[in-house]
């Protein structure tokens, strides 16, 4: 698959760069009066934007909320995030709209002042402090210092998505709520450049124009009666034409995929957004992308590309009305299949799924959306321990769901599934995923420590039974969360997985190469107060006959001592550091990434 392989052909990326010396490994809503469709310039003026220091610790100074034992400790408060006073702008509003805006702003202000103490999972002091704090956009910086030698077969762009709030939160904020920002490192024959840009979603453009946050935060704010009040305020603004919620409310901050010559940024609450990479290595947002009017619903942030057929497979879920879940696929030319409605009795969180050679594997787990819980003061995202977890096995080419096979897997919640494959000799589908307990601990505060256990789940299609076992021994057990297998073999039997060591949670101290057959674990630790994110495996080439681990691990790493960031490239066979690219600004901890080789970039749409 071109977008995720290390292609040794070297088409040129048109900018000169230079390299440096060697290194050793260190393990250690739609009114006619307003148009929101025009693309806004990247510069921002007179608006309350978070400006954070590039090389120093960032600490957000919000109105104090009591909390204890922050998940993300503030390591150094010597340099603060400077937040400019908010500027409320009224673009082309008539007198009625201005009066409505004033009244709704007063109601929001009153709501903010009576807000109860925030839990850790919604407290901005906790969720976006330290290197989880936002950074400003950076135009292309070229000729970056390189320590060691970048492997000659790596030519293209590594991109990683993340949550980066443009404005200071006015109420609760979860890390997942931030505006999408993509960080890009372009590599051209041993030379490197860096840029980071916001994905200019409809939400982002409207809030930027208004000079303040007005869209509800899906996780951090939508709790209890205050959450209901914020939703009512938001839709009231839409009713008066102050915002347009019909053009999408998503942040596009989670996944990235390169498909049909388009880079797409995604979050599961909206359509994807098409981004373009310039010849210099910069990024721009083309716009909200509906696959030429074929896609009319949201799409989850983890679509799958089959490495052999080159088809893209995806799901879409709805939290309000049936059908709660739909499956569809795209041919390599972008032609979409009809939707297949998956029968679910209640709206279920569907962050990820898996594919095999012939099937899609759909988790129906115990984390649900129950909006009515807000009436009783709770979160709309709940763990239902009385529900039975199961996996649905459906043919990739299905035109309806009548032949779906459901196999129960008790008490199983996997936020991510790393791979799946078929074993016809035993009538089983094998699923590899990280099983998380408590299942809703990312969204709701709890006393129990989070555990994420890499597991093998066997689903027998004949008996309808399942088994589950931890892959690594109890003595080696660590939280393994973000990561991947060799995507040239996705949906087929794989031996190795490369996963982030999410300790101390939620930071990532390194990554592990796990032998899925033997349970052997080899760890690469970044070192003293160095933390990273998702390890991205880049195969050396597209040859599926090559050794499965013949390639490189790429990851952003941040040093909390020096407050500087770098991109590390590690040999996946021996876990030795090959090279490090020093970055001109801080890269916050983020989510998922992809690699687009230079040859594929030439064909960008």
Buried b / exposed e along 237-266 (16+ C-beta atoms within 10 A): bbebbbbbbebbbbbbbbbbbbbbebbbbb
Beta strands in 411-548 (DSSP E): 414-423, 428-437, 451-460, 466-470, 480-484, 496-501, 510-515, 521-525, 530-531, 536-539
Tell me if 197 sits within 8 A of 168, measured CB to CB.
no
Strands 551-559 and 354-355: unpaired
C-alpha to C-alpha distance for 77 and 124, rounded to whole angstroms: 15
In terms of Cβ atoms closer than 10 Å to its own Cβ (0-12, 13-18, 19+), residue 6 is buried
Of the candidates 149, 160, 158, the residue with the CA atom closest to the CA atom of residue 186: 158
8 A C-beta contact, residue 401 and residue 378: no
Q: Please answer whether residues 8 and 541 qualify as being in contact, where contact means their C-beta atoms are separated by less than 8 angstroms.
A: yes
| Contact by Cβ (8 Å): 204, 179 | yes
How many other C-beta atoms lie within 10 A of the C-beta of residue 224? 16
Is 26 assigned a ligand-binding role in the annotation? no
CA distance 422 to 405: 14
Exposure b/e, 452-476, CB count within 10 A at least 16 = b: bbbbbbbbbbeeeebebeebbeeee
Q: Which residues pair with 515 in a beta bridge?
A: 496
SS percent in the chain: helix, strand, coil, step 5: 15, 30, 55
Count Cβ atoms below 10 Å from residue 346 Cβ, excluding itself: 13
Say which residues have a Cβ less than 8 Å from residue 389's Cβ, sequence separation at least 6: 363, 364, 365, 366, 408, 409, 410, 411, 412, 413
Question: What is the helix (H) or strand (E) element at residue 238, kind and residue range?
Answer: helix 224-239
Helix, strand or coil, per DSSP, at residue 108 = helix
Q: Which residues, in sequence order, are bridge partners of residue 498?
A: 484, 513
Question: Which of these, 287, 335, 327, 286, lies nearest to 310 by C-alpha position?
Answer: 335
Q: How far apart are CA 511 and CA 577, in angstroms?
A: 13
Q: Is 351 labeled as ligand-binding?
A: yes
416 in a labelled binding site: yes
CA distance linking residue 411 with residue 386, whole number of Å: 9
Binding residues: 302, 351, 416, 592
Binding residues for Fe cation: 302, 351, 416, 592
């Amino acid at each position: 698959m071109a977008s995720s392989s290390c292609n040794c052909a070297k088409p040129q990326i048109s900018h000169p760069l230079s390299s440096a010396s060697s290194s050793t490994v260190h393990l250690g809503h739609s009114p006619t009066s307003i148009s929101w469709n025009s693309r806004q310039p990247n510069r921002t003026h007179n608006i309350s934007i978070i400006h954070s220091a590039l090389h120093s610790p960032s600490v957000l100074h919000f109105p104090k909320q009591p909390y204890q034992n922050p998940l993300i400790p503030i390591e150094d408060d010597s340099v603060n995030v400077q937040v400019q006073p908010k500027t409320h702008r009224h673009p082309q509003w008539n007198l009625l709209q201005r009066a409505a805006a004033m009244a709704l702003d007063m109601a929001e202000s009153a709501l903010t002042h009576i807000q109860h103490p925030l839990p850790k999972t919604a407290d901005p002091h906790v969720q976006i402090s330290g290197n989880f704090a936002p950074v400003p956009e950076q135009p292309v910086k070229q000729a970056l210092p390189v320590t060691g030698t970048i492997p000659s077969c790596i030519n293209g762009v590594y991109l990683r998505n993340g949550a980066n709030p443009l404005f200071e939160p006015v109420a609760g904020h979860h890390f997942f709520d931030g505006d999408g920002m993509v960080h890009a490192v372009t590599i051209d024959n041993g030379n490197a450049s860096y840029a980071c840009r916001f994905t200019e979603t409809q939400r982002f453009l409207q809030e930027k124009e208004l000079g303040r946050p007005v869209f509800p935060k899906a996780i951090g704010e939508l709790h209890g009666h205050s959450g209901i009040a914020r939703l009512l305020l938001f839709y009231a603004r839409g009713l008066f034409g102050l915002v347009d919620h019909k053009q999408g409310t998503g942040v596009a901050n989670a996944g990235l995929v390169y498909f049909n010559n388009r880079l797409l940024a995604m979050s599961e609450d909206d359509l994807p957004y098409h981004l373009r990479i310039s010849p210099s290595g910069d990024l721009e947002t083309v716009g909200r992308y509906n696959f030429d009017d074929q896609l009319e619903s949201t799409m989850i942030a983890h679509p799958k590309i089959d490495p052999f057929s080159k088809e893209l497979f995806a799901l879409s879920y709805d939290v309000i009305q049936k059908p709660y879940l739909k499956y569809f696929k795209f041919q390599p030319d972008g032609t979409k299949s009809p939707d297949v409605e998956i029968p679910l009795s209640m709206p279920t969180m569907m962050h990820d799924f898996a594919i095999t050679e012939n099937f899609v594997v759909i988790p129906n787990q115990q984390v649900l959306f129950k909006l009515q819980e807000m009436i009783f003061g709770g979160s709309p995202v709940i763990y239902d321990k009385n529900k039975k977890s199961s996996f649905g096995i459906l043919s990739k080419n299905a035109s309806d769901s009548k032949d779906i096979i459901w196999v129960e897997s008790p008490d199983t919640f996997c936020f991510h599934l790393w791979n799946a494959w078929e074993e016809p000799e035993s009538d089983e589908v094998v699923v590899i995923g990280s099983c998380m307990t408590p299942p809703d601990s990312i969204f709701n505060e709890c006393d129990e420590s989070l555990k994420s256990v890499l597991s093998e789940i066997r689903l027998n299609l004949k008996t309808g039974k399942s088994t589950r076992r931890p892959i690594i021994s109890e003595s080696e057990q660590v939280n393994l969360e973000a990561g991947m297998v060799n995507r040239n073999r996705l949906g087929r039997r794989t031996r190795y997985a490369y996963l982030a060591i999410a300790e101390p949670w939620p930071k990532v101290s390194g990554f592990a190469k796990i032998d899925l057959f033997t349970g052997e674990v080899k760890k690469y630790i970044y070192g003293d107060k160095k933390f990273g994110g998702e390890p991205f495996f880049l195969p050396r080439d597209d040859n599926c006959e090559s050794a499965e681990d013949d390639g490189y691990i790429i990851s952003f790493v941040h040093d909390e001592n020096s407050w500087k960031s770098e991109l590390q490239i590690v040999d996946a066979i021996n876990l030795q550091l090959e090279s490090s690219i020093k970055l001109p600004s801080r890269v916050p901890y983020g989510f998922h990434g992809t690699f687009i080789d230079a040859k594929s970039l030439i064909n960008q749409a």
